[in-house]
Amino acid sequence: MGRTTAYKLAGSGEFPCRLLRYGGTYRVVTAELLELLGVPLPERGASDRVEST
């Protein structure tokens, strides 16, 4: 998707996942975008785990 199309969809409320708007800037909710694309998300807290040896 190109930038122009993305801004048109965002402006009309038709962007395929949730957007956050800060002033004139849009931010895509990354987890929702990855889910939309079918990318498996890591288990919550998985990066916090430390295994001792």
Contacts of 41 (CB under 8 A, 6+ apart): 31, 34, 35
Q: Closest by alpha carbon to 30, among 38, 18, 44? A: 18
**Is residue 46 in a domain?**
no
Assigned domain for 25 exists:
yes
pLDDT given at position 13:
92
Q: Residue 51 is which amino acid?
A: E
Q: Which residues of the chain have pLDDT under 50?
A: none
The parent domain of residue 20 ranges over 3-37
For the chain, the domain total comes to 1
Considering only CA atoms, which of 3, 5, 31 is closest in space to residue 17? 31
- Residue 52 resides in a domain: no
Three-class DSSP category at 25? strand
Instruction: Report the alpha-carbon distance of residue 16 to residue 35 in Å, rounded.
Output: 11
* 10 occurs within a structural domain: yes
**In the prediction, which pLDDT does 47 show?**
58
